[in-house]
């Protein structure tokens, strides 16, 4: 019988939009830059054993978790901007249907600019997704944003449709559904379902993993070309040689008994890590 240790939710962050190549050791090595890490977990589908695109990282202190949110949210790993926020439960955000399509984007617009611009209208539950040309890596001029509620998406459309962003007038509307029938999100039926869910459930359950909007530090930089690995606040993160092999990971704490700022010895990932 294995001992189940309860996770400290206040010191845990949710990490979304993970590339399929991300491993527990890789995510551990990235997050330890914000502070000593207690545990990293990337859920997998029980049938296919494939990762589901998100994970959790527990730090020793709530302050370290907040620092990770403030400094690492929206940085890129394997060409995909991470969505990092405080975690409340091991659940993925519920798709309410408040999904927007933004077109006529200037080539200089990136995910961080979209996030900074549109997060003022309400909680963004999925990382802004800009479409890139797979051959050139250049923006194709359109993107998608998913809000946690229709109040936020309606406000974004009203305020931003026809406005200038980076010297180009953008168009903001509800995105077309993937079923190919030409219907857009934001229908009366979706709004009714969202209203009923909000009435019958705790508000946090509608968006269980995303609670606070990240505040970027004044010196935050986001210089990256598409389809490359992690870059963000300087200095850029450099993965050690042989990083994909867990045994090759070099712990940044050279002394295994070195204490963190909280006074708790940092021992590194446990032997025989279950994930």
Q: What is the pLDDT of residues 166-186, one digit of tens each?
A: 999 999 999 988 776 778 888
Task: Give the pLDDT band of residue 24 (cuts 50, 70, 90).
Answer: very high
Task: Give the pLDDT band of residue 159 (cuts 50, 70, 90).
Answer: very high
Based on the domain organization, do 112 and 179 belong to the same domain?
yes
Do the domain assignments include residue 266? no
CB-based burial label for 255 (10 Å; 0-12, 13-18, 19+): exposed
Residue 186, domain extent: 99-206
Q: How many CB atoms lie within 10 A of CB 236?
A: 13
- Nearest 5°: phi and psi at 48? -85, -15
* 270's tokens: 């446990």
Based on the domain organization, do 194 and 226 belong to the same domain?
no
Based on the domain organization, do 178 and 233 belong to the same domain?
no
Task: Give the pLDDT band of residue 28 (cuts 50, 70, 90).
Answer: very high
Under 8 Å between Cβ of 73 and 233: no
Based on the domain organization, do 186 and 161 belong to the same domain?
yes
What pLDDT sits at residue 272? 46
Q: What is the CATH number of the domain that holds 24?
A: 3.30.70.330
Do the domain assignments include residue 4? no
Do the domain assignments include residue 128? yes
| Domain tally, the chain | 2
Based on the domain organization, do 185 and 159 belong to the same domain?
yes
Where does 73-127 have alpha helices with state H?
111-118
Based on the domain organization, do 221 and 191 belong to the same domain?
no
- Number of residues written out for the chain: 275
Based on the domain organization, do 191 and 117 belong to the same domain?
yes
Based on the domain organization, do 38 and 72 belong to the same domain?
yes
Task: Give the Cα separation of 170 and 157 in Å (integer).
Answer: 11
Measured on CA atoms in the order 142, 20, 238, 69, is the torsion positive or negative? positive
Q: How many alpha carbons lie under 13 Å from residue 52 in its C-beta half-sphere?
A: 16
Q: CA of 15: how far to CAs of 90, 142, 158, 163, 224, in Å?
A: 11, 24, 30, 31, 19
Based on the domain organization, do 78 and 119 belong to the same domain?
no
Based on the domain organization, do 137 and 75 belong to the same domain?
no
Based on the domain organization, do 42 and 85 belong to the same domain?
yes
Q: Enter the pTM of the model.
A: 0.46
Q: Which candidate, 41, 12, 8, 69, places its Cα nearest to that of 269? A: 41
């Amino acid at each position: 019988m294995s001992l189940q240790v309860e996770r400290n939710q206040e010191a845990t962050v949710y990490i979304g939009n993970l590339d399929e190549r991300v491993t527990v050791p890789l995510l551990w090595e990235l997050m330890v830059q914000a502070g000593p890490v207690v545990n990293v977990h990337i859920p997998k589908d029980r049938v296919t054993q494939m990762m589901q695109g998100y994970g959790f990282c527990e730090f020793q202190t709530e302050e370290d978790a907040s620092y990770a949110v403030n400094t690492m949210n929206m940085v890129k790993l394997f060409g995909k901007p991470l969505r990092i926020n405080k975690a409340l439960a091991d659940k993925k955000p519920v798709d309410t249907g408040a999904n927007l399509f933004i077109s006529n984007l200037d080539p200089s617009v990136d995910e961080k600019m979209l996030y900074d611009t549109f997060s003022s209208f309400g909680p963004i539950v999925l990382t802004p997704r800009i479409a890139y040309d797979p051959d050139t890596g250049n923006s194709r001029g359109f993107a998608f944003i998913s809000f946690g509620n229709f109040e936020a998406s309606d406000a974004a459309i009203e305020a931003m449709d026809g406005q200038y962003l980076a010297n180009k007038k953008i168009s903001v509307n509800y995105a077309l559904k993937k079923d190919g029938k030409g219907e857009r999100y934001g229908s009366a039926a979706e709004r009714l379902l969202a209203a009923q869910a909000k009435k019958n459930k705790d508000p946090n359950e509608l968006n269980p993993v995303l609670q606070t909007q990240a505040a970027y530090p004044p010196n935050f930089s986001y210089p990256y070309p598409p389809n490359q690995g992690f870059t963000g606040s300087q200095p850029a993160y450099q993965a050690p040689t042989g990083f994909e092999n867990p045994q090759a990971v070099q712990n940044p704490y050279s002394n295994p008994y070195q204490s963190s700022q909280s006074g708790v010895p940092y021992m590194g990932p446990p032997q025989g890590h279950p994930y």
